Amino acid sequence: MGIGLLFPGQASQFAGMGKELYEAYPAARAVFREASDAAGMDLAALCFRGTDEELRLTENTQPAIFTVSVAAFRVLEAETGVTPLCAAGHSLGEYSALVAAGALSVGDAARVLRSRGRYMQEAVRVGEGAMAALIGLSPESVEAVCRAAAGMGVVEPANFNGGDQIVISGSAAAVQAACEAARSAGAKRALPLPVSAPFHCSLMRPAADRLAPELRAVAEGTFRFPVVANVSAEPYPPGAPVADLLLRQIAAPVRWEACVRRMRGMGASSFIEVGPGKVLSGLLRRIDRDAGAASFCAPADLEGARAVAG
């Protein structure tokens, strides 16, 4: 049995994230410098002094969360000696997992993520897209309510997060109609999400097309441990370009519950959420209450991470 690492995606950001690691550890500062140089932005200033509005802008959010997550991983690795059995990341967190595993460099990933965020934002004009979390319906029922609302526009399952939480994504009118249908179908809750674009649905295909040349030009390294992909819920296949799955991920659902269960099947008995927030730790409790869990994003978290890492 071993340790699985979980890397967060959007909605985990907060003002000041990563600041304590940056101040305490040279390894964290090195990650911030490399990512900032590659992305062409001062990520330390954004993360530590940026407003909530600035941090919610997708082209800022993605490289910012990534940088904090990788900085946290570098410190966790140095301070605990943890040797992961496997890793996965939620949406943009998959890039963090790939860097931790050695398949991508910090600079390449930071540069690509800034473009990814911009292209995803520009694929659908602000106000025309939406996302919502449905709680209390089966995947089959969620797909049914999406079909029922399809006359209003695109609406599709976007994140199978765990337990009975499934996020839908698409045009604003269709998402609203699907929420109404979900309530009629017995959903416990149907909550609009404060996002700036409808991620992980077919409306994002133009973003994938724009990102493809940049992502395919990135050099790839050798995996030190397996990374389970969002779209397949299987480890990245040896020798296959990582760009293939990362491009599919932009417009496809995140199969998060299946990813965690796959990691459990690979032998992960405990998990460490590496990066800002505790969203994934909460989802883990929905998926498998028997799995050990800790989160790491500040020096004070080291003791708990060491306990889980053994």
Q: Is the domain of 140 the same as that of 247?
A: no
Per-residue CA distances from 185 to 170, 179, 265 (Å): 19, 10, 33
Question: Pick the catalytic residue: 90, 169, 200, 270?
Answer: 200
Per-residue pLDDT of the chain (310 residues; tens, 9 = 90+): 699 999 999 989 999 999 999 999 999 999 999 999 999 999 999 999 999 989 988 999 999 999 999 999 999 999 999 999 999 999 999 999 999 999 999 999 999 999 999 999 999 998 899 999 999 999 999 999 999 999 999 999 999 999 899 999 999 999 999 999 999 999 999 999 988 889 999 999 999 999 999 999 999 999 999 999 999 999 999 889 999 999 999 999 999 999 999 999 999 999 999 999 999 999 999 999 999 999 999 999 999 999 988 7
Q: Is the domain of 39 the same as that of 104?
A: yes
90: annotated active-site residue: no
Q: Could you tell me if 126 and 115 are in contact, meaning their C-beta atoms sit under 8 angstroms apart?
A: no
Q: Is the domain of 177 the same as that of 238?
A: no
Give the residue ranges of DSSP H helices in 170-309. 172-184, 205-216, 242-251, 256-266, 279-287, 302-309
Q: Is the domain of 285 the same as that of 159?
A: no
Report which DSSP code applies to 300. G
Question: Pick the catalytic residue: 12, 36, 69, 91?
Answer: 91
Q: Is the domain of 109 the same as that of 167?
A: no
Sign of the dihedral through C-alpha 181, 260, 12, 249: negative
Q: Torsion angle of alpha carbons 209, 192, 64, 39, nearest 10°?
A: 30
Q: Is the domain of 116 the same as that of 235?
A: yes
Q: Is the domain of 221 the same as that of 114?
A: yes
Point out which residues pair with 170 in neighbouring strands.
130, 155
Residue ranges of E strands in the chain: 2-7, 86-89, 129-135, 155-162, 165-171, 189-192, 268-274, 292-296
Residue-range definition of the domain harbouring residue 91: 2-123+203-309
**Count of structural domains, the chain:** 2
Q: Is the domain of 72 the same as that of 151?
A: no
Q: Is the domain of 64 the same as that of 31?
A: yes
Does this model's pTM top 0.85? My answer is yes
171: annotated active-site residue: no
Residue 138's domain is classified under what CATH number?
3.30.70.250
